[in-house]
Structure 1
Amino acid sequence: MVVIGREGATGATARLGHYRARDGSRGAAVDLDIDRPHVGLVVGKRGSGKTYTLGVLAEGLLAAEGVAPVVVDPMGAFTPLSAADVSATVVDPSVRADALDPRQWCTVLGLDPERGAGALVWRAASERATLGGMRSWVADADVAASTARAATNHLALAASWGVFEPSGIEVETLCSDGLTVLDMSEFASRPAGAVLAAVATALYDARVTDRTDRLPWLLVDEAHAFTDGVARRPLRRFVTRGRQPGVSCVLATQRPSAVPPTTVSQTDLLVAHRLTSTADIDALQAAQPTYLDGDFTARLPETTGDALVVDDDTESVHHVTVRERRTPHGGETPRASDLKADREHEARTGGSEI
C-alpha cells in the first residue's frame, strides 16, 4: 500500500483507490494521508468524477478519529449520506450575523464600504450583533433619507435569505464526532457564500483558540462558485495559513481557471480527473511543479473515475483509479431513460414496492 501526502510517518489514512497500470489492470492500493493538514484540489470536467472523489474522501474522514469533516454541499449531492448507516448529519445552514465582519457585510451585499449605504451598513455591523439589531440601528441613524432607505433595502434582502439567525451553527456542531453536511442546495450564491465565510472563519478560529481538539477538514464542492465573493478571504486564510493551527481544505471544481492562483500554488494534493477546457488546463500548467516532467495534458486521464494525483509533499505523481463509494452518491446526472423506467414501474405497481 502507498500513502499519498506523506513520507515515512505513520498515522490515519483514507483509502483513495488503486494504481492504474498502463494496460488498465488493477495495481496496488493507494491511500491518502489524513493525519496532518493538507490543501487539496479536486478538478475535472462535469461528469468526470470529482464530486464522487470528494465523497470518497468524506467517507475516509468519517471513519478516522481526531478529525472534524465538514462538507459544503451547494448541489445536494451529499444529502443522501444522512440516510446511510453512517454518522453523517445534514444541517440546514444558519449563521449569526456577527459571524461576518463589517467588510464582509458590505461584500455580500455588493456595497462600497466607503460610500453611502455601504458605510452605514459597516457602522451597523460594528454596533450590533444580530441582523434585527442592525436594521433597527439603521432605522434610528441620523443620515440622509436616501442613504437609510438604501441600507434598509439591502438588509431586508439579507433577511429574506433566511440564513442569519441569533443562534446559528455552533462550533461544537461543526466539530462533532461525525460528518457535517451543510445543505446549501436551496441557496443562491451570495447567501451560500455568507454561510461558507462564517463556517470557515469559525473552524479556523476554533483551532487557534483551542476550542476543539479535532482537526477540521473543510470540503467544498463546486468551489468556483465561492472564490470571488465574501468567502474568498476566509478560504484564502485556510489555504495559506491553515497548516500551523491544523485545518485542512479540499476544493472540488470543474473550473480550475476560476480558482485563485494562490490556491492552486498552495495545493499539496492535486487530484485531476478529465479536463478538456484549454483555460482550465492552462491554469494547472501555470502552477506545474518542476518534478512533473513532460506535457501535463498528455497525463490527464480519459476515463471517468481515473485521476492523476500530484503529491507535492513527496514530489511524486500517481495514476489512480478511485475506489467505489460505500455510501449513496447524490451527484449522478439524471437520465431520461431512467425516469421513464421509474414511471413505468410506478404504473405497474401502483407506486408501491413489491
Structure 2
Amino acid sequence: MSFSTKSAERFGTVIDKSPYTVEDPLVKVQYVSKGQNVVFGRALKAENYANLLYVGKILESTKGKSYLGADAWLDTTFPHVIYITGTRGSGKSFDLGVLVEGISKLAKSSPIQNSVKPITSIIIDTQSQFWTLGYPPRESIEANKLQLEELKRWNLEPNNLAAAKVYAPPGSTTFLGTEQTLQIRPKDVRAEEWCALLGQEVYSPQGHIISATLEALGDTDFEITDMLSYIGDDANWPTVAESSRNAITYKLDDYRRTNLFSASGLSVRDFLEDGSCNILSLRELRNEDKSLITAVIARNLFDILGRHHNKKKTASFFEQSYEGDGTPDRVWLVIDEAHVVAPRDQISPARSALVEYVKRGRDAGLSLVLATQQPSALDDRILSQVNVTFSHRLSFQSDINAAVDRIPTKSVRTMKFAGTNLTDFGDMMRVLDAGQCFLGDQASSRTVLVQIRPRVSAHGGYSPF
C-alpha cells in the first residue's frame, strides 16, 4: 500500500510552525516524499509501506532540509524492543495506548493503520487504566471532550479496540462487570521465581525446600495447599530444620489467602487469540506480585512462540505444510511502569525472564514495550536490545542519563528554543511539553522531535482534578 497525497485522506495540517529549531542536519531518515511521511523502526525497501502504525507529526524545524509537519510512522513488521521514558504526565502511558491502537483489531477502519495485520498484545497494566482501549471517547467526560476536539483537528474519527479483554485478580475492584478472573497456576512458577517472590535465596535451605517441593509435585495441577502439605510433612525433611520450613510456610499461607493462585488458573495460551488485546489490571497487587505475573507471561510466551516458529521453519525447510495450533506469529508484551516489575536494586521474579525475552525473543516474533518514569530505577540488563526510543520530558539528571544511554542513535546536539541555544540534551528534554518526545531508531542519523497524535480510543490516564 502506498501513501495518499489527497488532503481529505491525510491527517490535518496541525503543525505548520514550531518553537523548536534543531541545528543538526538530519542526514539520514526514512522519508517518503509522496504525502510527506517519515518511517521509523525499519529501512524502507522499494515502495513497501504496509504494516505501519501512525505515531504523529514531526515537530522540529531543521537546518537544511526540514521535515516539519511530516507524518511519523512506526514499523510493525519486525519484532522491536521499544523504550518509553518520561515524568508523570509527560505522555508515556499515552504512547502505549497509541502503539496498542496501531497494532490491534479496531472496531472500524482507521487511517492510523497503514495495511497493518493485527497483532496479539498483552498489557501489564500496573495502574489499571488501559481498559478504556475498548471504548471510544465520551463527551460526558471533560478530558474526553478535549480529546474529541483534537481528533477533529487531526482529521481522525473516534474508535476503539474490537477485541479487548480485561482481566483482574480476585479481590480487585472491578467496575466493568465483564472482567475475567486472573489467577496463576502454581505449576507455572519456577523455583527461582518462587524464591524471589518469597524473599529467599535460591541456594539456601529455604531455596532447597521450594525446589524439592516442586520436584515432588511435578507437572500435576497442584494448589498452594498441596505445597503447604508437602512442606509440612516431617517425613519429607529428615535433615531440614523446622525453622527453615516455617520461613516458607508462613509466606505461602499468606498467598493462599489472596486466591491469586489456582490450579485452574489461566494459561498463557488463553491470551493468544490472534489479534486480541489482553489487559491485565494489576493496580491493587503488590509490586512483587505484578513482577511474578510478568515473569510467568514473558517466559511462557518465549517458550510457546519459540516452539511455534521452530516448527514453521522446520516444515518450510523440508517443504512440508504446517497448519499450526492457532498460535499467533507475533505478540507484543507491553509493560507500564516497568521499574515496578523489574527494579534495578532488588531481586524480582521478572528479571531473568525479561532478560531472556529481549535477548532471544526476536526469532520467536516477540516485541517488548517498556514505559517508565524512573529510567535510573529500571534493571538495565533488560534494555540491551532496545531499538526504538520515545524520550519525553524528564527532570532528574540520573534519569536523563539512564534514558539517553539507551537511545539507539545520536541525540540532538544543538536546539534553539525561545530564543535560546540549548546544547545539553537533558535541557532539551526538560523543556518538552506533554505529548512531545524525541523519537530515536537505528535507521535515522539522530533523534527526531515528534508530536504524538491523539488517541482514537478513550484515554484512561486523565487527571480527575
TM-score, normalisation: structure 2: 0.68
Is the aligned partner of 1:224 residue 2:322?
no
Could you say if the C-alpha distance between residues 40 and 277 of structure 1 is closer, same or farther in structure 2, counting changes exceeding 3 Å? same
Aligned-pair distance for 1:165?
1.5
CA contact (8 A) 1:13 1:33 kept: yes
CA contact (8 A) 2:389 2:408 kept: no
CA contact (8 A) 1:268 1:313 kept: no
Aligned-pair distance for 1:326?
0.8
Tell me which residue corresponds to 1:196: 294
CA contact (8 A) 1:106 1:122 kept: no
Is the aligned partner of 1:137 residue 2:230?
yes
Aligned-pair distance for 1:120?
0.9
Local SS of the residue matching 1:326: coil
Tell me which residue corresponds to 2:59: 20
CA contact (8 A) 2:397 2:426 kept: no
Deviates more, 1:52-61 or 1:277-286: 277-286
Aligned-pair distance for 1:262?
2.9
Tell me which residue corresponds to 2:285: 187
Alpha carbon RMSD of aligned pairs, Å?
A: 2.1
Could you say if the C-alpha distance between residues 248 and 290 of structure 1 is closer, same or farther in structure 2, counting changes exceeding 3 Å? closer
Tell me which residue corresponds to 1:317: 447
Aligned-pair distance for 1:289?
5.2
Matches within 5 A, 1:52-91: 52-63=94-105, 64-65=116-117, 67-84=119-136, 85-86=160-161, 87-91=163-167
Q: What are the superposed Cα offsets for residues 95-129 of structure 1, whole Å, 9 maximum, x if unpaired? A: 21122211111111101223233321221123225
Is the aligned partner of 1:97 residue 2:97?
no
Local SS of the residue matching 2:254: helix
Is the aligned partner of 1:307 residue 2:437?
yes
Could you say if the C-alpha distance between residues 296 and 239 of structure 1 is closer, same or farther in structure 2, counting changes exceeding 3 Å? farther
Aligned-pair distance for 1:3?
1.6
Local SS of the residue matching 2:365: coil
CA contact (8 A) 1:127 1:134 kept: no
**Distance of 1:151 and 1:261 partners within structure 2:** 30
Aligned-pair distance for 1:91?
1.3
CA contact (8 A) 1:43 1:273 kept: yes
CA contact (8 A) 1:118 1:151 kept: no
**Distance of 2:388 and 2:241 partners within structure 1:** 52
Is the aligned partner of 1:6 residue 2:82?
no
Could you say if the C-alpha distance between residues 171 and 148 of structure 1 is closer, same or farther in structure 2, counting changes exceeding 3 Å? closer
Local SS of the residue matching 2:364: coil
Deviates more, 1:309-318 or 1:239-248: 309-318
CA contact (8 A) 2:408 2:441 kept: no
CA contact (8 A) 1:66 1:215 kept: no
Given residue 268 of structure 1, which amino acid in structure 2 is its aligned partner? Answer: N
Could you say if the C-alpha distance between residues 331 and 293 of structure 1 is closer, same or farther in structure 2, counting changes exceeding 3 Å? closer
**Distance of 2:283 and 2:360 partners within structure 1:** 29
Deviates more, 1:12-21 or 1:77-86: 77-86
Aligned-pair distance for 1:291?
3.4
TM-score, normalisation: structure 1: 0.88
Matches within 5 A, 1:260-271: 260-271=379-390
Local SS of the residue matching 1:18: strand
Deviates more, 1:170-179 or 1:188-197: 170-179
Given residue 17 of structure 1, which amino acid in structure 2 is its aligned partner? Answer: G
Match of residue 89, structure 2, among 43, 47, 52 = 47
Tell me which residue corresponds to 2:267: 170
Deviates more, 1:140-149 or 1:238-247: 140-149
Is the aligned partner of 1:118 residue 2:170?
no
Which 5+ residue runs of structure 1 have no aligned equivalent? 336-354
CA contact (8 A) 1:102 1:126 kept: no
Tell me which residue corresponds to 2:145: none
Aligned-pair distance for 1:79?
1.7
Aligned-pair distance for 1:160?
3.0
Aligned-pair distance for 1:278?
0.9
Higher helix proportion, which one? 1
Given residue 458 of structure 2, which amino acid in structure 1 is its aligned partner? Answer: P
Local SS of the residue matching 1:266: coil
How many residues are matched?
334
**Distance of 2:447 and 2:460 partners within structure 1:** 29
Aligned-pair distance for 1:313?
4.1
